[in-house]
Amino acid sequence: MRLYVAAQWSDRAEVRQVMGQLIASGHQITHNWTNLDQFSRLQAALDFQGVEEAEALVFVANNPYDSTGGAFVEMGIALGRGIPVFVIGPGIDRNIFTLLPQIRRGITALLTPYDLVENGIIEKEVAHVP
């Protein structure tokens, strides 16, 4: 599955760990923003494209979240596209949009090896992969 991982700039080390777990489970990251310039037109375009290409968005929010962060925009793009959003942590729980049915808690469902589902070895419902 193609995934985009959103978070605060200050949490990029944790984002790299999450990306590693997701890649190890067979997923593709649409854009790794953690090594780029924090605030540039190129970064904005690449982030937007990464969300547009994703089949789901993972929002890393273990720490209290700055409401001016771009990750909320990325979550809005994902919700507007109708793709699921997986939230890690309580950092955005005060955002009303976390109450929508497209919001899922945690990434356990994404850590089931994706190729087992895609190749019909286990059923989607058993693996809980969206």
- Domains, in order of start, for the chain: 2-127 (3.40.50.450)
Cβ proximity of 28 and 80 under 8 Å: no
Residue 119 has pLDDT above 60, yes or no: no
Q: What is the mean pLDDT of the chain?
A: 86
Cβ proximity of 37 and 43 under 8 Å: yes
Give me the mean pLDDT over the 103-130 stretch: 63
Residue 9, token pair as written in the block: 């700039």
Q: In terms of Cα–Cα distance, which of 52, 113, 94, 103 is closest to 77?
A: 52
- pLDDT value of position 77: 97
Per-residue pLDDT reduced to its tens digit, 51-67: 999 999 999 998 887 66
Buried b (16+ CB within 10 A) or exposed e, 35-68: eeeeeeeeeeeebbebbeebbbbbbbbeeebeee
| Distances in whole angstroms, Cα of residue 87 to Cα of each of 4, 104, 105, 121 | 12, 6, 5, 27
Strands (E) located in the chain: 2-7, 28-29, 56-60, 85-88, 103-105
Pairing relationship of beta strands 28-29 and 103-105 according to DSSP bridges = unpaired
Q: Which of 61-65, 81-85, 87-91 has the lowest mean pLDDT?
A: 61-65
